[in-house]
Amino acid sequence: MNQEAAGERAGADAKDLFRKLDQLCYPKSVAILGASEQFVKWGGLLTANLLNGGFEGPVYPINPNRATILERPAYKSLRDCPGPVDLAFITLPKDKVLAAVRECGAAGVNNLVIVTSGFSETGAEGRALEDEVVAAARAAGMRTLGPNTMGMISTRQKLFMTGAVAMPPVGGISMISQSGNLGGQVMMWAEQQGVGVNKFFGSGNEGDITCTDLLAYLGQDDTTDAILVYLEGIDDGRGFLQVARTVAAKKPIVMLKSGRTKEGAKAASSHTGALAGSREVWDGAMRQAGIMLVKNPMDLIDGAAGVENLPLPHGNRVAIVTVGGGWGVVATDLCKEYRLRLPALPAEIVALLDKQLPSYWSRANPIDLVGTVEIDLYVSAIEATVASDAFDAVITLGCIGASSIAREIGTVAHAVAPNAMNAETVAQFEAMASGIEMTLRSEIARLTKKYGKPIMNVSLDRRHNQVVIPTGDGKHIVAFNTPEKAVRVLAGMAWFDWWRQAHNGGQSARG
Amino acid sequence: MNQEAAGERAGADAKDLFRKLDQLCYPKSVAILGASEQFVKWGGLLTANLLNGGFEGPVYPINPNRATILERPAYKSLRDCPGPVDLAFITLPKDKVLAAVRECGAAGVNNLVIVTSGFSETGAEGRALEDEVVAAARAAGMRTLGPNTMGMISTRQKLFMTGAVAMPPVGGISMISQSGNLGGQVMMWAEQQGVGVNKFFGSGNEGDITCTDLLAYLGQDDTTDAILVYLEGIDDGRGFLQVARTVAAKKPIVMLKSGRTKEGAKAASSHTGALAGSREVWDGAMRQAGIMLVKNPMDLIDGAAGVENLPLPHGNRVAIVTVGGGWGVVATDLCKEYRLRLPALPAEIVALLDKQLPSYWSRANPIDLVGTVEIDLYVSAIEATVASDAFDAVITLGCIGASSIAREIGTVAHAVAPNAMNAETVAQFEAMASGIEMTLRSEIARLTKKYGKPIMNVSLDRRHNQVVIPTGDGKHIVAFNTPEKAVRVLAGMAWFDWWRQAHNGGQSARG
């Protein structure tokens, strides 16, 4: 964030920035300058993605050489469009961008997304051109995302306009990415994993709109519940952190800061030209600002699933409920390594579960249900712990997905004894197993809500490949495919709640 | 390993142990004492799994109350079986086990797998019974896996006999697990991820055959290329490590030691009754013995995929070839954090690639191909680095799976413009993308073999869910779905090669 931008956010100008970004995210019409019939080109891909995403306003492909593009009417220039153009995507060759921006200004376009590359990321000459382009846009009242951005998404507006084929479901997670390909991949994962997305910005060269601007905007955006950031480097680190601290008091920021190591910083510099800064300085400063730091791209999705779907834990005391002893041991080690505590089971929980669980149960935390497949016992153990003042969170291992084993057994039995276990019986068995699974999911969603504590599930269903899974009655629970992910996300959430209580007058906004 | 077992391995008795374990792994016939028609019971599940796996010898379900089990003849007792019984699985209630073992001895059974629980893991009384059972077996010349084991697998014998429905492909990885459910899950993952398995043992209570016995056996087993171990605790740690060091000189051992933390050790103790030992002591001693340590169950599978399918790197100097800059930065950070080095590109590689890559290529390590989709350029960059004396290994990011984006684009274009992009054109486009992908896989397999260096691939195909993937011409390459996994496995392999050179007279057996 430059000083000018920082000043803007201080008062009436901040309102203006946010108004312009609202306009950018909810355009009434979109023109694509450089639209192409060749869908492997950016101008074809963006057009195809935009149309495929279901954007409901007019879409104007602009191409002087074609009457139609992808079976829609194409227009020779902005002047030929039958209605006003709100947002213009520019994918023209670099040397045509400045003239196009001036044309957009003259035509009353409100905002620009410039996908074209070859600007400040290539050196001084490119930077001079970028400055000229942005100045021309600003002079005409337009704000610019890019240049060298891979695009943006605004799910509520059905605006899917990136170089990646990604259509995540509508939800509360918004993302800012300084890498187009990495951001696009995270959006693909969001779609695959059932993580609901609100807005996505590839920030590109940040010739005009910066990461800091976008963070401030998303911080006050009521439809954004949590923010993901992939950051390589930034000019005004202080300004970014100042905004981050204000935003983190309101909603979680999960960030992957790459260029952490000297070598990574060098790679980042050759990638975006930004100064990455030393790891030690960044790490400490980011934590002080309340940013939840992660190390791997997929951690962004895991973290998003947690903060979007679960209450924050108001402490680090964890109960583990496991269907198998080995998993309990593995999760116990991981909890300790991520600084989560495993208090002993209070006597009243032991007494309560003694009445319900088989005599050989562990009577300790982890609660080892020793391969029990009775769903009522899972629910008893989960409720006893989540309801207890002794625990801030519960991790279940092998409860979600346990019924899949029954289904697999049915299939095997049918294969070896098709008469004793006929197809109809297998189908009944599968239906029963599915019913049990969905009942358990519903119960976990109910207990999460009732007690306001996170329940992190680790599924051992081998077909499990989605972190956010539906209960069947309109709710969702979170189920990871490894204990490490569950522990890592929970530890991050516990840390964030601690930060918020320490820095936010003791209030935890989502708790 | 107790002193007696240690003594055995020293000479002729070791040969006897290995002979008995060969007999256990390649039985000529199998009886199941406690076989059941109810497939959700152990006696039903084991029988169904064994039959489903295609074991080619006679299978004798033993059950005094039934004429048939799963549509096969059942037998009232061992004496009623029409042929000799080589291996007996016992899933009877605890109080019937001792008599059954004596019956097995009398009937000339060679070895036992006792699944029944309630022995030493439950306390002194159970331990006394376990001792009595094992003594009775040994007196009759039988060796025992278990009690309280979840079973075993021997893929070359088509012997799939565990409580988990897991049928991994035949390969060179063998596993010893002190947790049945965790081991079963790893076997399911192996099946899912395409990791080839040779033998699997749930070691159970280790009343007779211990982890150390099994490790020594697998160390000299020619069909086992690498060994996975899930260990919670062990009585004779010194004996185990002594064997491990000898085995590691011959083949990689990838181990997850749980009970690393005080709390984890306590959980392990209540799970198996074993003493887990302090983390510091174990960590150092295990590394000295050449064991590749991992922290998460899934790391066992990732590590297995690496050591089974790739040559070891003879150093830690890595070249990164990436289709997108952001991924290169992320991987660079991870490499440094896992102590891998990223040397600068030698001038001759820069000169070579200058002739082939687009003018804007990074001229640095990571080699950023900036979204190029031309397969020849991927291969050029990979070959230039893997062939160079400056590098011991190559990591590719986004090369494998790049063609999937083309396929997705085709689908989107067809959805929005079904005439311009008709179904036939989409199909042709998909076929072309698949062809490109398979060509790249073949080239990577060829280069790996030609230069004897590992090429670790990170796939960005969202549908990618298998770590070992076929080339289409009978070979396999390794492709992870996150950069972290690729870096973690490569760092482990580089460490192991270093250990082996330092401890093995400079020889690297697989290099």
- Determine the average pLDDT of the residues in A104-129: 94
Q: Tell me which chain A residues have a C-beta less than 8 angstroms from the C-beta of B183.
A: 326
Chain A residues close to B232, C-beta within 8 Å = 326, 329
First and final C-alpha spacing in chain B: 31
Residue in chain B lying closest to A459 (CA): B185
Candidates B71, B412, B483; nearest CB to A48 = B412
Least confident of A137-141, B135-139, B170-174, B293-297: B293-297
Distances (CA, A) of B56 to B33, B74, B130: 19, 17, 32
Given an 8 Å threshold on Cβ–Cβ distance, is A325 in contact with B179? Answer: yes
The two structure tokens encoding residue A319 = 């109960």
Question: How far lies A113's CA from each of A43, A125, A144, A209, B93, in Å?
Answer: 12, 21, 6, 10, 71
| A409-413 long-range Cβ contacts below 8 angstroms, 24+ apart | A409/B39, A409/B40, A409/B45, A409/B48, A409/B165, A410/B39, A411/B165, A412/B39, A412/B45, A412/B48, A412/B49, A412/B52, A412/B165, A413/B39, A413/B44, A413/B48, A413/B70
Q: Which amino acid appears at position A7 of this protein?
A: G
pLDDT tens-digit map of A126-179: 999 999 999 999 999 999 999 999 999 999 999 999 988 899 999 999 999 999
Of A52, A71, A323, which has the smallest distance from its Cβ to B412's Cβ?
A52
Helix or strand holding residue B449 (H, E):
helix B423-451
Q: What proportion of chain B, given as a percentage, has pLDDT over 70?
A: 93
**Interface with chain A: mutation pick from B46, B280, B316, B333, highest number of A CBs within 10 Å:** B333
CB A111 within 8 A of CB A142: yes
Confidence of residue B511 (pLDDT cuts 50, 70, 90): very low
Alpha helices (H) in B109-261, listed in sequence order? 124-139, 180-193, 211-219, 237-248
Tokens of B24: 């256990």
- Residue in A122, A182, A406 closest to B326 by CB: A182
Distance from CA of B446 to the nearest CA of A (A): 28
C-alpha to C-alpha distance for A45 and A490, rounded to whole angstroms: 38
The answer to whether residues A265 and A291 touch, using CB atoms and an 8 Å cutoff, is no
Topology of the domain comprising A313-503: Rossmann fold (3.40.50)
A6 band by pLDDT with thresholds 50, 70 and 90: very low
Query: Using CA atoms, how far apart are residues A161 and A52, in angstroms rounded to an integer?
Result: 10
Q: How far is B236 from chain A (nearest CA, A)?
A: 20
| HSE-up (13 A, CA, CB side) for residue B287 | 10
Residue A511 has pLDDT above 50, yes or no: no
Cα–Cα distance list, A184 to A162, A388, B101, B221 (Å): 7, 42, 61, 47
Q: Between B274 and B465, where is the model more confident?
A: B465
pLDDT (tens digit, 9 = 90+) per residue, A404-458? 877 788 888 889 999 888 888 888 888 888 899 999 999 999 999 999 999 999 9
Record: contact A337-B71, CB cut-off 8 A: no
Residue B173 pLDDT: 98
A37 closest CB neighbour out of B165, B333, B420 = B420
Which of A177, A330, A365 is most worth mutating to test chain B (most B CB atoms within 10 A of its CB)? A330
Which of B271, B411, B414, B426 to mutate: most A Cβ within 10 Å? Answer: B271
Which residue in the set A37, A326, A484 is minimally distant from B296, CB to CB?
A484
Given a cut of 90, whether residue B108 has pLDDT beyond it is: yes
R_g over Cα of chain B: 26
The pLDDT of residue B356 is above 60: yes
CB neighbour list of residue B216: distance below 8 Å, 6 or more residues apart: B9, B14, B17, B18, B243, B246, B247
Chain B hits for A185, CB-CB cut-off 8 Å, are: 327, 460
| Strands of the sheet with A393-397, listed across from one edge | A367-368, A318-322, A393-397, A455-458, A476-480, A468-470
Mean pLDDT of B296-320: 96
Cα angle value B404/B407/B410 (rounded, 5°): 155
Do A330 and B419 lie within an 8 Å CB cutoff?
Answer: no
CB contact under 8 A, A39 and B415: no
Q: Provide the residue ranges of all domains of chain A, joining segments of one domain with +.
A: 3-308, 313-503
Under the banding of pLDDT at 50, 70 and 90, the label for residue A3 is very low
Start-to-end CA span in chain A (Å): 31
B272 neighbors B205 (Cβ within 8 angstroms) = yes
- Contact assignment for B71 to A483 by CB distance below 8 Å: no
Average the pLDDT over each of A161-170, A372-381, B272-281, B420-429 and give the range with the smallest value: B272-281
Which of chain B's residues have a Cβ under 8 Å away from the Cβ of A408? Answer: 165
pLDDT number for residue B10? 56
Q: Would you say residue B267 has pLDDT above 90?
A: no
Rounded Cα distance between A133 and A126, Å, is 10
- Looking at the DSSP bridge assignments, the partners of residue A175 are A200, A228
Q: Which CATH number fits domain A3-308: 3.90.1300.10, 3.40.50.720, 3.40.50.261, 3.20.20.80?
A: 3.40.50.261
Domains A3-308 and A313-503 alike in fold = yes
Q: Which residue of B has its CA nearest to A340?
A: B263
pLDDT tens string B376-401? 889 999 999 999 999 999 999 999 98
CB nearest A368 (choices: B122, B180, B271): B271
Greater model confidence, B323 or B248? B248
What percentage of chain A has pLDDT greater than the value 70? 93
pLDDT bin (cut points 50, 70, 90) of residue A7 is very low
Mean pLDDT over B414-437 rounds to: 87
Contact B408 A165 (CB under 8 A): yes
Query: Considering the entire predicted model, what is its pTM?
Result: 0.92
How confident is the model over B12-43, as pLDDT tens digits? 788 999 999 999 999 999 999 999 988 778 89
Largest Cα–Cα distance of chain A, in whole Å? 80
Residues of B in contact with A433 (CB under 8 A): none
Q: Residue A376: is its pLDDT beyond 70? A: yes
pLDDT band at B371 (very low <50, low <70, confident <90, very high): low
* Minimal C-alpha gap between A384 and chain B (Å): 20
Q: CA-nearest residue of chain B to A342?
A: B263
Q: For chains A and B, count residue pairs whose Cβ atoms are closer than 8 Å.
A: 258
For chain A, give the number of residues.
511
> Model confidence over A37-50: pLDDT tens digits?
887 788 988 999 99
To the nearest 10°, the Cα dihedral for A97, A102, A108, A111?
40
Query: What digits encode the pLDDT tens for the residues A214-254?
Result: 999 999 999 999 999 999 888 888 899 999 999 999 999 99
State the architecture of B312-503 in CATH terms. Answer: 3-Layer(aba) Sandwich (3.40)
| B419 neighbourhood in chain A, CB within 8 Å | 71
Q: Which residues of chain B neighbour A406 with C-beta distances below 8 Å?
A: 40
- Is pLDDT at A274 greater than 90 in this prediction? no
Contact B295 A419 (CB under 8 A): no
The pLDDT score that the predictor gives to residue A505 is 59
Measured between CA atoms, the residue of chain A closest to residue B460 is A185
Gap from A72 CA to chain B (nearest CA, Å): 9
Give the pLDDT mean for B3-14: 58
